[in-house]
Chain A
């Protein structure tokens, strides 16, 4: 049984009694200990679908249908109290901006210990010992002294380490990391992602890594879901997907990024147009207005998601076999 099983999940935003779908029927699984990446541009639904797992959707957002099963239990039918327990103990989340997710007027120690006491039922003294251990594990030196400090005493990278310590407090089975290093410098980004993948390896924790950076996916994830316009358009093992993308959008993304291992005189081949606006009416495949291979059927009929792909005209397999 997979750890997390999402089946045909749809999320809509309701505004003035008008419903706009943001996530349009996505299905995927996450197994124990694996790192799965969700890749996509703004408005692809990658963050919204993950907030739905956590039961943290804003009030205007509704799950329209589908199920989210964690260890076999549907999270969508749990009471608020049950979800509160699952959130700390089984699934935790690391956000992009650590300064806005930490409370600026409480010291770091009390914020880590709150999570420990709440979820593990330890005494204050035991919680403090655990907090110090956690800070050491995430690489914060001089942990005992730093417990008494406030978020503004910490650099961006250190704050993100504290957030990871809080996420790890109850030894969760799944961590959802939403652009965890986008606000950080490159050398600090490498430190944080190395740390997170080491933790997953050592604790057998699974991670959903949400990012727009294709390099990060390649270095840290085993499997990838590429999202566009609220759907998963291609899913597969990272190495297969990069070697031979089958969806035109995946191919377009890969050709859009400049790379250090390629001749710099090779011009970039950007995807034309802008990412699909969730509020715009687009018939058929939502990628068709930007797709260089679009045929009439792409304008009228949305492709089914089958065999890890949602496309009427998948790119040729020959390139894939050659690898």
Chain B
């Protein structure tokens, strides 16, 4: 069997128009030749800061945004140019969970109505009421929650309804866009555990977008670090965190404060200087060179390609190409 989800050379540019004639004066390069593959049943994470393109990538996979170039192959079929009814079967197989359950749930519908709407649209053949009760219970909610409106529930309960809706049509792939970011710490842990449980139970594949490295590491088998529309480094969670190779990944990991005051004492952390450049006019060469602590002259002109370091681990950095570090063995624990 080939790759379950294959994203190939995907670029998404949003035109910027100006003036009376709405002439195109530029483009926001949200994604630039991104290639990655997901295996069936794995949880793949996308991390990065604002403007890195992780959400655009998620929305393109969901076919909510059209790619400028490149293709998306899902289960052996190119879905990037499908439209209308040809797309309908994929809308069933690929579902989404969003960040803020308060704005992704209709405030004037009860959670029962919210979930059954999905079933009705896709002409569910069974008993809709029973299915709603079943979905709620899968997500840890009692049947009475079907009659509650979003404002009558807590943030965690709302997110459970959002997950129940995503599960309604027995999807195979779920795109989770910052699915736990808006929740309180104790609730976040509950939802993370629920997502893990569901993946095992229904053999789901996750494309998990997040900015919290420790959450993504916990949930995902593999991940990609993105910066200004490009993948900087990709590998298994173990490889990426025990042996980060790209200077941006290193800085990102270093910026996360650990909940351990003793471990922090005397530990030098160097905050990454500067700001994320505008995707309207990304830097030439390697997009990270303006903030990179080890940037060389050639980084300003040459775009590094994502090349394999060892195993599944790859990175896009010229410094790694010129001075190869000895390969380190990485323990695989899963």
Contact = CB atoms under 8 A, between A and B. Distances in A.
Task: Check if A and B associate.
Answer: yes
Given A157-B275, A186-B213, A257-B214, A214 B259 contact: yes
Most A CB contacts (10 A, CB to CB) among B185, B254, B258, B271 go to B185
Contacts of B325: none
A190 B193 contact: no
Given A186-B49, A190-B269, A268-B218, A257 B259 contact: yes
Nearest to A218: B261
Interface size bucket, B side? 35 or more
B50 interface: yes
21 contacts: A42-B155, A157-B275, A186-B211, A187-B49, A189-B255, A214-B259, A219-B264, A238-B261, A242-B262, A255-B189, A256-B189, A257-B259, A259-B214, A259-B259, A260-B241, A263-B333, A264-B237, A267-B196, A269-B189, A274-B157, A277-B154
Contacts of A213: 257
Contacts of B156: 274
Q: Is the interface of B mostly helix, strand, loop or mixed?
A: helix
Contacts of B157: 274
B255 A218 contact: no
B185 A257 contact: yes
Nearest to A141: B274
What 3 A-B pairs have minimum CB-CB distances, sorted nearest first? A270-B189, A215-B257, A258-B218
Interface of A: 41-42, 155-158, 185-191, 193-194, 212-220, 238-239, 242-243, 252-261, 263-265, 267-272, 274-275, 277, 290
Contacts of A260: 213-214, 217, 241, 253, 256, 258
Nearest to B291: A187
Given A187-B251, A238-B261, A256 B214 contact: no
Given A258-B217, A270-B190, A265 B260 contact: no
Contact of A271 (B50, B186, B196, B217): B186
Given A187-B252, A258-B192, 14 more contacts: A157-B275, A186-B252, A187-B49, A190-B255, A190-B269, A191-B271, A191-B273, A216-B257, A220-B257, A238-B261, A253-B185, A258-B189, A268-B189, A275-B154
Which of B252, B254, B256, B273 has its CB near the most chain A CB atoms (within 10 A)?
A: B256
Interface in B208-223: 211, 213-215, 217-218
A257 B214 CA distance: 8
Interface in B295-334: 333-334
Given A256-B189, A260-B217, A270-B186, A215 B49 contact: no
A213 B257 CA distance: 9
A188 B193 contact: no
A263 B334 CA distance: 11
A53 to B, nearest CB: 24
Contacts of A264: 217-218, 237-238, 333
A193 B257 CA distance: 11
Interface in B228-250: 237-238, 241
Contacts of A239: 261-262, 265
Nearest to A277: B154
A115 B214 CA distance: 40
Nearest to A186: B255
A219 B265 CA distance: 8
A60 B167 CA distance: 42
Contact of A252 (B186, B241, B253, B259): B186
A198 to B, nearest CB: 11
A258 B215 contact: yes
B276 interface: yes
